Structure 1
Amino acid sequence: MDTKSLIIDIATKLFQKQGYTGTGLNEILKLGHLTKGALYHHFPGGKEELLLACIRSLHEAIAEDIESIFERQPTTAEAIGAVLDRLIFLYETEGTIAGYTISSVVSGIDTLSDPVRRACAQLYVEMQGIFRRRLAEDGLAAEKASSLALMVNASLEGGIVLCLTTQSTEPLLAIKQWLPTMIKELESSE
C-alpha cells in the first residue's frame, strides 16, 4: 500500500472509531510510523483535506457495494433486504459497520466546513439516486420514488447509527422487517 493510501486507511479507521474531532494528526502518524512531512506532502491542507479524502474513499466503497447489491436483485424491496442482510452480517461477524456510514467519521459535523458537508451530502445524494432509479424502474412515479428514496436512505443511516450505539442488530432487523414490505406495498399500489 502506498503512503497516501496508508494515511487514508489509518485516518478513516480512527475517524470512524473516535470521530473527526477526537482524532489527532499525531495519532495517525504514530500508527502509520509516518512523518509530518509525509502527511503534508500528500495532504497540504492538513486534517480537513485528509478528512475529505477519507470521505471520498468511503463514498466510493459504499456506493460501489450498494450498486453491486442492487444489480443482483430483481426488485428494490429485495435489494433493500439484501443491503440490510449485508449490514447485519457485517455487524455480527466484525462487530461493527462503521465502514458503511460516514456519520461516525464526521461526528461534530456542525463545526466542519462547507466542503466537508458537501462531500457528505454528495454520498447521500448518490445513494438516494441509486434507490430512486430502481424505484422508478419498478414503476413508482418520479415524485414518489424520490420521496421514498430519501426515506430509505434515512432509515439505513439511522439504523446503522442505532445499531452501533445500542451494540445490537435489533434496529436493522426491525427495518428489514418493515421497509421492504412497505416498498412492495407502494409499488403494488402504483
Structure 2
Amino acid sequence: MDTKSQMIEIATNLFQQKGYKGVGVNEILKVCNITKGALYHHFPNGKEELLIACLKNMDEAITTDIEVIFERCQTTMEALHAMIEKLVANLDREGTITGYTFSSIVSEMASLSEPVRNACSDLYTKMQGIYSKKLVADGFSKETAHSIALMMTATIEGGIMLCLTRKTSEPLKIISQGLPNLLKGFI
C-alpha cells in the first residue's frame, strides 16, 4: 500500500473513533509514521483535505457494499434486512460499526466546511439512489421511491448512532422489524 493510501486508511479510522476535532495532526503523523512534509505533500491543504479524501474513500466502500447487497437480494426488504444484519453482526463482533458511519463527522464539520458538507451529502445521495433504484424495481413510482429512500437513509443512520451511543445493536434490530410497516404505508 502506498503512503497516501495508508494515510487515508489510518486517518479514516482515527476520525471515526475520535471525530475530526479529536484527532490532531501530530497524532496522524505519529500513527502513520510519516513526517509533516509527507502529509502536506499528499494533502497540501492539510487535515481537512485528508478528511475529504477519507470521506471519499468511505463513500466508495460503503456504496459498493450496499450495491452488492442490493443486487444480490430480490426485494428492497430482503436487501435492507441483509444490510442491517451485517451492521448488527459488525456491532456485536467489534463493538462499533466502522466503515459505515460518518454521522459524527457530519455533525461536527458540516456547518464549518462546505467541501466536507458536500462530500457527506454526496454519500447520502448515493445511498438514497441505491435504495430508490431498488424500490422502483419493486414497483414504487420514482417520487414515492425517492421519499421512502430518504426515510430509510435517515432511519438507518439514526439507528446506527443510537446503537453506538447505547452500545447495543437493539435499535437496528427494531428498525429491521419495523421497516415492512414503513413500506406498507406507501402501498
**Aligned counterparts of 1:151 and 1:27: Cα–Cα separation in 2:** 37
Note the C-alpha offset of 1:112. 2.5
Write out the 4+ residue segments of structure 1 that deviate beyond 4 Å after TM superposition.
none
**Aligned counterparts of 2:133 and 2:106: Cα–Cα separation in 1:** 27
Does the CA-based 8 Å contact 1:73-1:79 persist in structure 2? yes
**Aligned counterparts of 2:113 and 2:168: Cα–Cα separation in 1:** 32
Q: Which residue of 1 aligns with 2:170?
A: 170
**Aligned counterparts of 2:94 and 2:180: Cα–Cα separation in 1:** 25
User: Greater RCO between the two (CA within 8 Å, min separation 6)?
Assistant: 1
**Aligned counterparts of 1:105 and 1:41: Cα–Cα separation in 2:** 24
Q: Which residue of 1 aligns with 2:74?
A: 74
Q: Which amino acid aligns with 2:64?
A: E
**Aligned counterparts of 1:180 and 1:58: Cα–Cα separation in 2:** 28
Note the C-alpha offset of 1:98. 3.0
Does the CA-based 8 Å contact 2:111-2:117 persist in structure 1? no
RMSD: 1.3
Note the C-alpha offset of 1:11. 0.8
Q: Which residue of 2 aligns with 1:134?
A: 134
Note the C-alpha offset of 1:141. 1.3
Other structure's SS at 1:156 match: helix
Is 1:93–2:111 an aligned residue pair? no
Q: Deviations over 1:29-88 (max 9, x none)?
A: 101111001111100010110000000000000000000000110000110111100100
**Aligned counterparts of 1:110 and 1:42: Cα–Cα separation in 2:** 23
Give the alignment of 1:11-160 within 5 angstroms.
Answer: 11-160=11-160
Return the TM-score normalized by structure 2: 0.96
Aligned residues: 187
Q: Percent identity at matched positions?
A: 56
Does the CA-based 8 Å contact 1:58-1:100 persist in structure 2? yes
Q: Which amino acid aligns with 1:49?
A: E
Return the TM-score normalized by structure 1: 0.94
3 and 65 in structure 1: CA distance in 2 versus 1, 3 angstrom threshold: same
